[in-house]
Amino acid sequence: MNPLRAKWQNDECTIGAWLSIPSPITAEIIGRAGFDHATVDLQHGMVDYADALAMFQAIELGSSVPLARVTWNEPGIIGRMLDLGAGGVIIPMVNNPADATAAVASCRYAPVGRRSVGPTRVRIGKPDYFEGVDDWVLCIPMIETAEAVDNIDDILSVPGIDAVYVGPSDLAVSMGVGGPGLHNDHPDFSEALAKVVDSCRRHGVVPGIHTNVDLVERRVDEGFRLMTVIIDVPTLQMAIAGLLADARTKTSR
């Protein structure tokens, strides 16, 4: 069974990191750090197919479950990421039941879905992959528009969804309540998050969200259980800036 699924069954939170830099070294550092999951971002990151393979291999040197945020809700790229060994896929812009049905179909083999059989790389480490695939693979649609929030009950009525993942920046822009970092205290945004969490509880789906260390306690209190708290690029920027500022202070005499 996917370790994330096992934790969610016990109502435990899972904490993850986000990887945009196409680097197996960065992926290995994150994988060994103790995060529950590490997501390779093919949509907005600088990552291609070959990069993703090397990064999944590096993540698996530690204890993190490798996930992929794919470029779009399209069966080819979803299937390729699962064949490489992703423990789940985060699928952008799922706005209605038809989108959700397509996402599930791309993640599941027949008769439930239409995923093509050929898990070439993942079978190297999981020879019984095919027999336990539905316990391993996580289908995680993104909820990141006002339309998706309006349709959340219909979306979550589609069988085969394991979790959803709120993209707060796109959702805030779609709702007209501010861009990145400007929306967290807007009442309409908070109401939208509450609607998503409430629907997840009623449908037995895990609520997830992209967040940060400053907001993670609030998100847990709101009911979220799948969370990303760092992104490689800004984390590296902040660490370098802080260390450089400290060095400047200590050498300015």
Q: What is the pTM of this model?
A: 0.97
Q: Which residues are catalytic?
A: 44
pLDDT of residue 148: 99
Inter-axis angle of helices 187-203 and 168-175, nearest 10:
120
Parse the chain into domains and list their residue ranges: 3-251
CATH label, 3-251, candidates 3.20.20.60, 2.30.30.110, 1.10.10.10, 3.40.50.300: 3.20.20.60
| Per-residue pLDDT at 86 | 98
Q: What per-residue string of b and e applies to 208-231 under the rule 16 or more CB within 10 Å gives b?
A: bbbbbeebbeebeeebbbbbbbbb
Closest CA to 217 of 69, 10, 13, 11: 13
Q: Count how many residues are written for the chain.
A: 253
What's the rounded Cα separation, in Å, for the pair 205 and 199?
8
Backbone angles phi, psi at 166, to 5 degrees: -75, 125
pLDDT at position 163 = 99
Give Dmax over CA atoms of the chain in angstroms. Answer: 72
pLDDT tens, residue order, the chain (253 aa): 999 999 999 999 999 999 999 999 999 999 999 999 999 999 999 999 999 999 999 999 999 999 999 999 999 999 999 999 999 999 999 999 999 999 999 999 999 999 999 998 999 999 999 999 999 999 999 999 999 999 999 999 999 999 999 999 999 999 999 877 768 889 999 999 999 999 999 999 999 999 999 999 999 999 999 999 999 999 999 999 999 999 999 999 7
Dihedral angle, C-alpha 85, 86, 87, 90, nearest 10 °: -160
Tell how far CA 160 is from the center of its chain.
16
Query: Phi, psi (5° rounding) for residue 205?
Result: -115, 145
